[in-house]
Structure 1
Amino acid sequence: MCGIFAYINCHVPRERRHILEVLFNGLRRLEYRGYDSAGISIDADNDDHLEEVKKKKKGLGLGGEAARQLSPPLVFREEGKIEKLVTSVYQEVDATDLDLEFLFASHAGIAHTRWATHGPPSPRNGHPQSSGKGHEFLVVHNGVITNFLVLKETLVRHGFVFESDTDTEVIPKLAKFVYDSLTAEIESNGGGETVKFSQVVMEVMRQIEGAYALIFKSLHYPNELVACKCGSPLLLGVKEFGEEDRRGAFVESELILAKDGKPKEFFLASDASAMVEHTKKVMVIEDNEVVHVRNGSVSIFKFEREKMGKLRGMPRPASVERALSVLAVEVEQIQKGNYDHYMQKEIHEQPESLTTTMRGRLIHGGSKVKGVLLGGLKDHLRTIRRSRRILFIGCGTSYHAGLATRALVEELSGVPVTMELASDLLDRRGPVYREDTAIFVSQSGETADTLEALEYAKSCGALCVGVTNTVGSAIARGTHCGVHINAGCEIGVASTKAYTSQIAAMTMMALALGEDTLSSCSRREAIIDDLINLPDKVREVLKLDNDMKELAKELMEEQSLLVFGRGYNYATALEGALKVKEVALMHSEGILAGEMKHGPLALVDENLPIIVVATRDATCIKQQSVIQQLQARKGRLIVMCTKGDANLMCPNGSYRFIEVPQLQDCLQPIINIVPFQLLAYHLTVLRGFNVDQPRNLAKSVTIS
């Protein structure tokens, strides 16, 4: 998924060098999302053109401040990594003698990391995309415009020439068309009015379709930016100067709309990680909101498509008053610390992330009955228990987390559980009923297919529950209730600590659903006891790090890997194979062991490595049978088993074993996935790939 970032310094003098570095660092914070090109736009020096521009724009009533920066902004775009962009920018600065010490009292800069969807990675397909010669309008975009071909045909008929293969290019060109049309209309009526930047953007929004987060920069509106979104994440950050209290902390403003003229810096970004080093005062921009940053103030409008007419006579949009919230993320959380990679750091953070996920939610000890307290669900538990069925809906790793807890939810609630991949549910338009409870699982809370499935389930009248790692995300805001997993910031593209925390959170959900059933009391208490011990057990498994590195050395030249699991650990097989596949770029397949005879057995020989998950649970005896059949065919086995069970699992064979501690069967997937995470990490490093930026993958996924 693309990353967008913008920085405005208003009445805060900053050198061009400083502005560039803020933009570059913002992009570096978004690298984890995945990208194949990057670009920025900043202002040029315009004082030489002042008098000429004043005369040119006098008829429209644009003052000297607006005229002062009507020389075209500078646009830099490069294929490849951000550091390549940085190098090329400074090379061009040297070649053109651009003054890096030039001081801007106010300035608006935009930046972008692109993950190619329309057109291959190249400078011409990079962002910012331009309206044409002179860069009158520039746009950075995260998302997909579905009707861009129709718009492109229309704009071509009006004389616009397209230079890229992207869907995004229609947006700045459409903005120029709208601006020119409105300007001509004003002039034909005698002038006197000005075309508002937000008005241009809302007319663009009226004509485009798809999912997007957009930031507009314009030659006609210097030191201003307009941002809007529909289905893609976008946040606004505010840093105010001169308002420090005696403790040295920024005083919280209830609103950010006052035009007080105080020095401020504003930040717009796809993710809080890009702005946490600058400010913790943020606002999550809602769908169909238009945010206009100008002269130290923020105006927020609600775009209502059905009320927006065509160019002439557009009604004044309703303004919105919003409060700032405070980020809980610390800068240290988005840094690698002593680790070589984010994925490595996040694997080893799992004891802490699990502790945080469970903190304050488990009731145990003393005279109190053991139980679970989930504040976000307590008012809806009765409705969920009376549901016709429960649907777990997610994509990729989040889907696997739901699969890992399906059996426990059915066991403790007595309600049948259906698993749905979000994209498949949407393709089928599968039936969802008012009596259903739909649980949407997403690490980011912004996964586009899952979001679309949420809108579909809401339209069907189902109770919608969110399980996310991001407070204020679209899924967290769009569901009726939910559970925040509290795993902390996850930068690595391959989800690790979020997965294990999702399982823990949904296990607690299952415990809460079953708390009024006396027959399951001892089972619930045993699970709670093991939840309390879970972080220590994960620390124990992390000691297998060197063993997994040695196993990775043995497997690094292999082309394929099979993983067999069943019961609770069918999810482990799928997720373990996915981890190897997505970061090590090695074909791997998770297989339900009960289906081994129905095709997969044909692949077994002495060369293909096979991992069998056979920890002690209700399916353990069946897994022993699977191991014996694989042995009979000289399979190259690696067996994951409970400590002390190696001889029991393979009494007649000398195979490699991965021994892990035992917990309640429903918690074993949390323990069992950790060796796979370590294996995938070491395989990737040994094979020479970038573990934090896998090929062709992004952190959040847009609609395909």
Structure 2
Amino acid sequence: MKKLDCNNALRMETFDLPVMARPFAEANDKPLRMALTTPQLFSPRSCLLVGCGDSYCAGVAAKPLFEQLGGIRTEALSAMEASRHWPKGRIGNEPCNPLLYVISASGNVSRNIEVCQRAAACGVGALTVAVTAHPDSPMAKASQAVLPISPTPFDSGFDEHSPGLRSYYASLYALCSSAIRMGEVKMRYPMSQADDYRRAMVEYAESFGGEVMEQIDDAMFALAQQWQEFDSFEFLGSGAQMATAWFDAAKIYEATGDVATYEDMENWCHVNYFARDHRRVGTVLTISKDSPAMVRALEVAEVLARLRPTLIVTDADAALFPKEATVCQLPSPRYGFLAPLMDYVPVALLSGYLARLKGVSLFRGGEPAFQSQPTHFLKTSQIEIV
């Protein structure tokens, strides 16, 4: 089968990421810098990053930047954890603390709105910031500030809805930008350094364009043909790249509907290693060359290549990894902590091709069992303040 016969909306969205990077930054950098005042960024002693699905994943990916650049203790929580289980005293007990980013491109998800309302109900406490493309949405109206994300226009040319990559990039870019701004107003580095961090984000995304994207695309189409009969997939990472593993697994569910798990690579050695049908579990390890876990990753890669069909996604030298594994080599960001902005690209392409080769629709389009649920009650679930 020819590659272009398997073209799909997810592939087209992936190809658009390097194209959208600069116009997106030009349209959004100033609003993002101005979204929060200096006191709002300087005063908080802790930070919470909250969301559902991909938006939760963006919080996990951005957590190291708030800690490293912003110098603030940061936790990433699912919206359910923050709305129903997180102690009230840790949401509201002193002015502007914590700084609570609630992430949703649509701004209509019930649990996220619930988080904002719960924070407000605590009285003195969290400064809630809606990270959304819809500043008039219910979530934005329930927040005290808005971190705006305005994606550039895009048409995939397909009728089917694509698993969100552009919205994920936009949300993660906005969070990274806010972390950079926080470090800047705290004078942890000069304005020139902050500007360089911002330039580096755009340059990193653009480095995936042209021939680089074509090479990755060719490799993932070839791998999809080898893996198309698999119905189980596993994704491994460490540190910030656990977010990538999480996001990659989500794209498989959304694109093909196959079972996909994600795991810290150390925990994998203790538990998931024992999977019985190991020759039919497509397994992906994502690791950056600058990761503190790189040496351990090389050990794990040896085990994976012996047991399973394995893809290594990395910016390190491919020769470091076992010859039995497929290695997809990525461009390196100028600052290693920016890797999660783009290191999901190979699996996004792989997921789209697998869906086409398996003959399934993205998001189970057209399947009655899935269409009968009103968007799984994401936007209509009853809001409760506990």
Which TM-score band applies after superposition, normalised by the shorter structure?
0.7 to 0.9
User: 2-side partners of 1:610 and 1:355: how far apart?
Assistant: 33
Aligned in 2, Cα 1:690/1:592: closer, same or farther, shift over 3 Å?
Answer: same
| Superimposed CA distance per residue, residues 453-507 of structure 1 (whole angstroms, 9 cap, x where no aligned partner) | 1111121241110111224222223221122121246882521111011111111
- Cα shift at 1:630: 3.0
Which one-letter code corresponds to 2:329 in the other structure?
A: E
Q: Alpha carbons of 1:340 and 1:626: their partners in 2 closer, same or farther (altered >3 Å)? A: closer
Q: Which residue is equivalent to 2:259? A: 587
Equivalent position of 2:111 in the other structure: 449
Where does 1:30-179 land on structure 2 (aligned, <5 Å)?
A: none
Match of 1:514 among 142, 163, 183: 183
C-alpha separation in 2, matches of 1:403 and 1:437: 15
Alignment deviations for residues 322-375 of structure 1 (CA, whole Å, 9 cap, x no partner): xxxxxxxxxxxxxxxxx965434332222243323311555xxxxxxxxx7735
Whole-Å Cα distance in 2 between the matches of residues 376 and 474 of structure 1? 22
Quote the Cα distance in structure 1 between the aligned partners of 2:132 and 2:204.
21
SS at match of 2:184: coil
Instruction: Give the one of 304, 312, 315 matched to 1:642.
Output: 315
> Which residue number in structure 1 is paired with residue 120 of structure 2?
458
Q: State the match for 2:302 in structure 1.
A: 628
**Aligned partners of 2:70 and 2:183 also within 8 Å:** yes
Contact conserved, 2:244 with 2:340, CA < 8 A, in 1?
Answer: yes
Alignment of 1:204-283 (within 5 A): none
Question: Which residue is equivalent to 1:374?
Answer: 32
Decide which of 334, 337, 342 is 1:666's aligned counterpart.
337
CA distance in structure 1 between the aligned counterparts of 2:288 and 2:353, rounded to whole angstroms: 23
Question: In the alignment, which residue of structure 1 is the partner of 2:378?
Answer: 701
Q: Does 1:479 align with 2:143?
A: yes
CA 1:393/1:445 → structure 2, altered by over 3 Å: closer, same or farther?
A: same
- How is 1:193-204 mapped onto 2 (pairs within 5 angstroms)? none
Indicate if the aligned counterparts of 2:205 and 2:342 stay in contact, CA closer than 8 A: no
Give TM-score scaled by structure 2 length: 0.82
Find the aligned partners of 1:576 and 1:556 in 2 and give their Cα distance.
16
Q: 1:572: how far off?
A: 0.3
**TM-score under structure 1 length normalisation:** 0.47
Select 1:561's aligned residue among 230, 233, 253.
Answer: 233
Tell me which residue corresponds to 1:70: none
Opposite residue 445 of structure 1, the aligned amino acid is: G
Question: Which sits farther off after the overlay, 503-512 or 687-696?
Answer: 687-696
Conserved? CA contact 1:392–1:441, under 8 Å: yes
Which of residues 605, 612, 621 in structure 1 aligns to 2:285?
612
Change (3 A) 1:600 1:340: closer
Distance 2:378 2:162 in 1: 11
For the 8 Å contact 1:437–1:462, the answer to whether it is kept is: yes
- 8 Å contact 1:537–1:671 — kept in the other structure? no
For the pair 1:468 / 2:132, whether they are aligned, the reply is yes
Report if aligned partners of 1:465, 1:482 keep a CA contact under 8 Å in 2.
Answer: yes
Structure 1: runs of 5+ lacking an equivalent: 1-338, 363-371
Q: Do residues 345 (structure 1) and 22 (structure 2) align?
A: no
1:537 corresponding residue in structure 2: 207
CA-to-aligned-CA distance 1:49-88 (integer Å, 9 cap, x gap): xxxxxxxxxxxxxxxxxxxxxxxxxxxxxxxxxxxxxxxx
Q: How many residues align?
A: 352
- CA distances 1:558-584 after superposition (whole Å, capped 9, x unpaired): 021111111221100000011001220
Deviation at 1:418, TM superposition (A): 1.4
Whose strand fraction is larger, Structure 1's or Structure 2's? 1
SS at match of 1:454: helix
Among 355, 361, 380, the alignment partner of 1:684 is: 355
For the pair shown, which has the larger CA radius of gyration, 1 or 2? 1
Rounded Cα–Cα distance in structure 1 between residues aligned with 2:83 and 2:342: 33
2:307 aligned counterpart, secondary structure: coil
Bigger fraction of residues in helix? 2
Matching residue of 2:60: 403
Structure 1 679/503 Cα, relative in aligned 2: closer, same or farther at 3 Å? same
Cα separation, 2, equivalents of 1:342 and 1:447: 24
Match of residue 157 from structure 2:
none
User: What SS does structure 1 have at the residue aligned with 2:252?
Assistant: helix
Report whether the alignment pairs 1:657 with 2:324.
no
Deviation at 1:627, TM superposition (A): 1.4
**Percent of paired sites with the same residue:** 20
CA RMSD of aligned residues (A): 2.6
Which segments of 5 or more consecutive residues in structure 2 lack a partner in the other structure?
1-5, 155-159
Does the residue aligned with 1:616 lie in a helix, a strand or coil? Answer: coil
